[in-house]
Amino acid sequence: MSGNSASCRPEVSHPAAVTTKTDGSGGDAGPAVDITLADASWSELVPSYHMKVTAAVLAALVAAPEVSSEGVSGGISGEMPALEVSVRLTDDAEVRVLNRTYRGKDKATNILSFPSCAADDLPVAVDHAAKGGPPVLMGDLVLASGVLAREAEAMGKTPEDHLGHLVVHGVLHLLGYDHMDDVEAERMEALEVRVLGTLGIGNPYEGSRMA
């Protein structure tokens, strides 16, 4: 990611891997998605991973209520501000280390979200970006291939659809959404279902919630 982007924390460091960047707007402005392939098994698990991840990130940013200093209203309309999301597709072992280090849980999980900015600071950064300021580093998403594959099989989902759901879920975390109580969870789940509908993915919830 570019060094002059607005960020509220040091980036999480990872082992080197192949990274590609997609400008979702088709130009210099607008959202960008950095995808790092750190585990080759993703290419077999979800051959279209690059397209699926990019589409899920952009759909979540477009459909989520606007983040601005004037409050939450509708969806982000007009030209999207320069927002950057980093997505790392890795294995269970790396996610387990990160989960233990940053959350105190010594196990692999399906996805980890590392927001770059506190929710209270994000609106101002987004406003600046929309007015021509530096791009906003929304944060990092890290996904575990083995966990995703096992969950998809257990739930009778395709890996592609489960990947789309996890990425949307993760982006909403970067935007400040959470599911610490029932009210927050219901709000976040309803938005996820709406975003996934734009991607042709059905309601993934059947009485259970994301970890």
Q: Domain with 94 in it: what CATH number?
A: 3.40.390.30
Q: What is the per-residue pLDDT for 5?
A: 38
Each of the 211 residues of the chain gets a pLDDT tens digit; together they read 223 334 444 344 454 455 566 665 444 557 889 999 999 999 999 999 999 999 999 999 887 665 443 433 334 444 667 889 999 999 999 999 999 999 999 999 999 999 987 777 877 887 788 788 888 888 999 999 999 999 999 999 999 999 999 999 999 999 888 877 778 788 888 899 999 999 999 998 864 545 4
Q: What is the per-residue pLDDT for 208?
A: 52
Please state the pTM of the whole predicted model: 0.82
165 annotated binding-site participant: no
* 187 is a domain residue: yes
Please report, as a single letter, which amino acid is at residue 120.
D
Q: What is the per-residue pLDDT for 75?
A: 41
Domain that holds residue 100: 29-70+77-199
pLDDT per position as a tens digit, 39-55: 999 999 999 999 999 99
50 annotated binding-site participant: no
* 194 is a domain residue: yes
* 8 is a domain residue: no
Contact assessment for residue 164 and residue 57, using Cβ atoms and an 8 Å cutoff: no
162 annotated binding-site participant: no
Q: What is the per-residue pLDDT for 69?
A: 39
* 206 is a domain residue: no
* Strands of 52-186, DSSP E: 83-90, 111-115, 136-144
Q: How far is CA 30 from CA 11, 14, 124, 127, 166, in A?
A: 21, 26, 16, 13, 22
* 109 is a domain residue: yes
Q: What is the DSSP string of 163-204?
A: HHHHHHHHHHHHTT---SSHHHHHHHHHHHHHHHHHTT----
Tally the domains of the chain.
Answer: 1
* 158 is a domain residue: yes
Q: What is the per-residue pLDDT for 8?
A: 43
pLDDT per position as a tens digit, 147-166: 999 999 999 999 999 999 99
Q: What is the per-residue pLDDT for 26?
A: 40
| CA 115 – CA 140 distance, rounded (Å) | 6
